Structure 1
């Protein structure tokens, strides 16, 4: 009678080892690992054996699950034994948490672990193939490995199921099948499609008529129509969204309910630090059946079994390792324009996490939330599109490439651009404006309040501006004098003006002379008292007011003014903890005696709800329209019952009016790309350069 080994050998060359043999090898090796770890510090040799056992056990689990030649009872028994091996490995890792990094799907496999794994397989009689040599490139995770942590509660979760098998069923569909467009560079034409091919149409995918299941919305709460549409799209199976609704239209609630509709748990939410607490509150409000946990610092107090994990960009580098291995089925990126600089560490970590989630989960829910997706340039789209999986660093991915191929057009055809724009929008761009979808939200307006700086500080600023203009005029005239013969330009040579302004900007960092940034800061300091006086008068006549400034000394001046007048205020600054910040916001919202919120544009300009006020004072100008808009929309949002007015304090006869004009001109960028506006964009998106150009042009015209 044939032995089990002989019977297996008679089934062909599909597999030359028997499952019992590999189980024996694994069981012996894992006991050696466990015993070695109990003797003290884990040695490099033991780490190698730990990783080799983990890799082989994972491969064996996949083989057993897919082996059609064994019975269900045999499969159950083998999986049970593999679970036992996994539990021993996880228990060992709990005694030395550095071992957890060896269990990750993206863990670097050492040469020693590869060789030991081959020896263990050889001991079972397996026929081994030659392994190709792979040169691994450093990743953001590996470079920052020394900073990374694994919270204890996460280890507990991993102990409960140490080998979560990834779902690679969607991998084949992600292969790009480029035909006609295979040799074309397509990313720049796609950007151009948004910059110039709007044709008056807003950038919003087709959304279903609202039919939100009442089970999605907690009792006592109600969604607006535009919010219901997005949740229903997720319920219908759509899985990627660039949710670019104007600030104040309830993107947080839409994202949380979309995750619930898509059953995208566990859900990872990456947010700015200032809104972590608010996201946890919103999750408790809108999805109370799904526990949310917030990562602070090393994450010592998080709930490893929570459905929603909230982490801020600033500590992402410490947690990117275990976050990538947890098995998230969805990811939400709040204020997604934070990743526009792809070379930054936080952008690289975000892109790595989304890539790992897509590689492990079939059709995960990926959402990018931002009311201001374009800060300075149309190129700001690229990082967000890559996060969503629509493109990689060089070309469109499969779904978008297929849609572009289906147009039958190439970038030389004029019709390509509107068709390409629609193809990207259909992947999940959702953009709604308040004026279109929230008629019950009152109007918003920006009013400029000119002030005169007639003190010594004001005179000093005006003199510094004159010296800067004089310096550039001299440089311009010198360039004209040395110009080659035969080049003649009537009037002001605007091309040379721009070159001179560029030289001035580039040289300013190495000079002690005044530059645009330093003068704008001095202007902010000089008008701080005037802005505070106006805010105090406004609070006396209309009620609560939000005061925004860029610099701490301007906030200090304002608060000193309010103290002298006996006006009660709260302060929101970047150095506050989340608890103190939320306490201040609650006081401003609920205490009728708190008249003013003094806020940092950086710390309070995103994510916060300050709609208890309907008046905003902008004591200093920002360098982008997006930053200004975000600040105003802390007040102008769903739930606001009064018309909102933002009062910009403008120092007359200084650079202030020029900067305000330039900021307003840049407001057309998002309008043109997303809202279908025909408004022309300025030639440059660098406000500092444009301010220098304006200053020099004015001086030459005088």
Structure 2
């Protein structure tokens, strides 16, 4: 233990070193932030820019230290050693996410956001900058970006009827709306704002539900077709469209009728032709909803190359998987609006699916003044608050690097900066006012029955179950061995015991590192070898017959049951058991055609002889209405709380008049139990960001990572 005098002397030495290179402690702090995010697999756009800027400033600072003539040799060696430490952390981070390596190219840190970040850190260090480094302007936007990337040009198709439509209307009606003048310089132009905007939602700044102020409902319902009636919350949304608002993140909880609201919004806005991009499973349902709510409009469902579509339709419905071959003609047909259903599907900006959607959205905004743009999802945040990024880009609120002009004006009007604590509540409100609409069932559908999640533990007592528990122990011991090697190596490097911790203390940072590495190796291995994914799959297989038998007993009491599973073999086992038990069942799977899927849904909903529908969590977890049942059996657990919620809400939605119970089948004394517990805990992010509830802002690592950390701690003997 150092004496007070020794500690004071050490602080003076560190202070002198910092005086000689005041930028280094700033870079050290920033690189630790990046490292922590990388360990949680949460390197979004803002943190990737930070990675770039740190790397380039380390290079610049190393060159400056080497060239500094007033530095003594000892001081120079010490400063270079500290810079090497930062570079080492960068290298380890890039090893975890190899896509970071391409960010180190010479021209990668030249974006306005990167320049602002570099300038702000240098100013914080006390550096004096040239006038041209203080004022950073944004590059002029590139107009008419091609909708079809070069790699997809050869895949483009033009259905024959589209050519007929184009010949019938060879010229699109010109948009004569006066264009806005170039925006004047704003007070916040020099600030990096995307990080603070995400932080405002992540912390739930200001509290309150993330829903813009909506007009009151009209006294009379003038929009519903004969025989149908909109609910109050739906009519208020449509009234906002009637009042002129045109871009929305409609984030109502699943089951509150987002499809109907969107169809009516398009009618009120006269946003035709309208493009609707959806998961394959709900294409037919969208066509039905268009017919139900706007019978005067025609919907065309695009299948394959679209050879038989009606190109004179008002609404074009296409699934994500085939959008890439229809980009060319959709980008030229004069769309006045676009709906993206289950918009969390585009959260991965590196995927072709996301790029296709964003390219079409940009083309529509270029050619149409104030188009109707709707992003629909009851679960916009899956793992991280930066899941908002792609949705905000689609809506035109941001470009990923900075807010758009309208949002910038709102932020500027607050009179605050990110340096002010009050900025975050104001910033959250500003984004919400752009068009976030979030209503919860308990608030707008008071007559909707209650929802209960009940856990049913089952014992895996056979040889298969025992082998699963043995595999769990072996996985835990394998990670524990890695943990001990790291601890021993660190102790040897320092010539001491386990740092400042007690000899039996568990180092959370090393636990997280070992678990993260195991998770990455498991992802790379896929279904090969013993890892967390194969283990969970084996648990699902072991539970399959137990879950199926429970569903049979339940069906004999309640008549209709929805059975969810994640893997095909579990579904197959369940269906075989239902057939052997004399229970008629239908299934909804990913490989089905839209027609076959809809036939299965109709049979379950209307045929009294069909007692069970067997559903894939991924194929039937969104956009399917199964209100004929009020009981759901979850044979396998999902990795996300959002996926579980989506599945249960196929039943718990408008039209349901009985209390809903979801029965989770959980394998006792296995990792299954911990996964169920973690899923329940992972509701915190959406509760903070969307519903204004308080919660732990630091517990947002993935369920997979948290489960592996739990196994490792068990193996290390932590109580």
Interval containing the TM-score (normalised by the shorter chain): 0.7 to 0.9
Shift of 1:165: 4.4
Instruction: State the partner residue of 1:453.
Output: 460
Q: Which residue among 375, 391, 406 is the counterpart of 2:398? A: 391
How far, CA to CA, are the matches of 1:137 and 1:637 in structure 2?
41
How far, CA to CA, are the matches of 2:432 and 2:522 in structure 1?
42
Shift of 1:393: 2.6
Contact preservation (8 Å) 2:455, 2:663: yes
How far, CA to CA, are the matches of 1:627 and 1:171 in structure 2?
43
How far, CA to CA, are the matches of 1:272 and 1:471 in structure 2?
40
Instruction: State the partner residue of 2:259.
Output: 252
Instruction: State the partner residue of 1:158.
Output: 166
* Deviations 1:290-347, CA, capped at 9 Å, x for gaps: 1111100111111111111111111100101111111111111110111000111111
How far, CA to CA, are the matches of 2:232 and 2:205 in structure 1?
25
Q: 1:533 to 1:413 in 2, by over 3 A?
A: same
Shift of 1:220: 1.2
Once the two structures are overlaid, the 10-residue window that deviates more, 659-668 or 453-462, is 659-668
Q: Which residue among 514, 530, 535 is the counterpart of 1:514? A: 530
Answering whether residue 200 of structure 2 is matched by residue 193 of structure 1, we say yes
SS at match of 1:172: coil
Q: 1:177 to 1:449 in 2, by over 3 A?
A: farther
SS at match of 1:602: coil
Contact preservation (8 Å) 2:586, 2:612: yes
Q: Which residue among 467, 491, 494 is the counterpart of 2:508? A: 494
Contact preservation (8 Å) 2:147, 2:327: no
Q: Between Structure 1 and Structure 2, how many residues are aligned?
A: 568
Instruction: State the partner residue of 1:149.
Output: 157
Q: Which residue among 534, 541, 556 is the counterpart of 1:525? A: 541
SS at match of 1:199: coil
Instruction: State the partner residue of 1:683.
Output: 699
Q: Which residue among 307, 330, 335 is the counterpart of 1:300? A: 307
**Correspondence 1:433-444 to 2 at 5 A:** 433-444=440-451
How far, CA to CA, are the matches of 1:547 and 1:216 in structure 2?
37
**Correspondence 1:451-600 to 2 at 5 A:** 451-483=458-490, 484-486=494-496, 487-490=499-502, 491-509=505-523, 513-600=529-616
Shift of 1:676: 0.4
How far, CA to CA, are the matches of 1:547 and 1:179 in structure 2?
55
Contact preservation (8 Å) 1:501, 1:689: yes
Answering whether residue 629 of structure 2 is matched by residue 613 of structure 1, we say yes
Contact preservation (8 Å) 2:586, 2:613: yes
Shift of 1:195: 1.1
Contact preservation (8 Å) 2:147, 2:360: no
SS at match of 1:617: strand
How far, CA to CA, are the matches of 2:271 and 2:148 in structure 1?
26
Shift of 1:663: 1.1
How far, CA to CA, are the matches of 1:140 and 1:682 in structure 2?
40
How far, CA to CA, are the matches of 2:279 and 2:291 in structure 1?
19
Shift of 1:139: 6.2
Contact preservation (8 Å) 1:198, 1:677: no
How far, CA to CA, are the matches of 2:604 and 2:529 in structure 1?
42
Shift of 1:141: 3.1
Contact preservation (8 Å) 2:441, 2:448: yes
How far, CA to CA, are the matches of 2:292 and 2:164 in structure 1?
27
How far, CA to CA, are the matches of 1:167 and 1:608 in structure 2?
38
Shift of 1:168: 6.3
How far, CA to CA, are the matches of 1:603 and 1:325 in structure 2?
31
* Deviations 1:415-437, CA, capped at 9 Å, x for gaps: 11111111110110000000000
Q: Which residue among 227, 249, 259 is the counterpart of 2:234? A: 227
Q: Which runs of 5+ in 1 are unaligned?
A: 1-133
* Deviations 1:614-673, CA, capped at 9 Å, x for gaps: 000000001101110000000000010100011000000111011111111111111110
How far, CA to CA, are the matches of 1:611 and 1:393 in structure 2?
39
Which has more radius of gyration? 1
Shift of 1:509: 5.0
Instruction: State the partner residue of 2:279.
Output: 272
Shift of 1:275: 0.2
- TM-score norm. by structure 1 comes to 0.79
Q: 1:375 to 1:390 in 2, by over 3 A?
A: same
How far, CA to CA, are the matches of 1:288 and 1:566 in structure 2?
41
Shift of 1:185: 1.0
How far, CA to CA, are the matches of 1:620 and 1:696 in structure 2?
23
Instruction: State the partner residue of 1:696.
Output: 712
SS at match of 1:144: helix
How far, CA to CA, are the matches of 1:593 and 1:170 in structure 2?
61
How far, CA to CA, are the matches of 2:695 and 2:417 in structure 1?
27
Shift of 1:180: 1.4
Contact preservation (8 Å) 1:140, 1:348: no
How far, CA to CA, are the matches of 1:508 and 1:302 in structure 2?
44
Shift of 1:197: 3.8
Instruction: State the partner residue of 1:110.
Output: none
SS at match of 1:217: coil
* Deviations 1:149-177, CA, capped at 9 Å, x for gaps: 0111111110012121442636426x544
How far, CA to CA, are the matches of 2:400 and 2:435 in structure 1?
19
How far, CA to CA, are the matches of 2:394 and 2:469 in structure 1?
46
Shift of 1:453: 0.4
Q: Which residue among 379, 388, 396 is the counterpart of 2:386? A: 379
Once the two structures are overlaid, the 10-residue window that deviates more, 405-414 or 177-186, is 177-186
Answering whether residue 188 of structure 2 is matched by residue 172 of structure 1, we say no
How far, CA to CA, are the matches of 2:588 and 2:281 in structure 1?
10
Contact preservation (8 Å) 1:176, 1:397: no
- TM-score norm. by structure 2 comes to 0.77
SS at match of 1:658: helix
Instruction: State the partner residue of 1:12.
Output: none
Shift of 1:199: 3.0
SS at match of 2:434: helix
Shift of 1:137: 8.1
SS at match of 1:603: coil
After superposition, the CA RMSD in angstroms is 1.7
How far, CA to CA, are the matches of 1:362 and 1:140 in structure 2?
22
Contact preservation (8 Å) 1:336, 1:384: yes
Instruction: State the partner residue of 1:217.
Output: 224
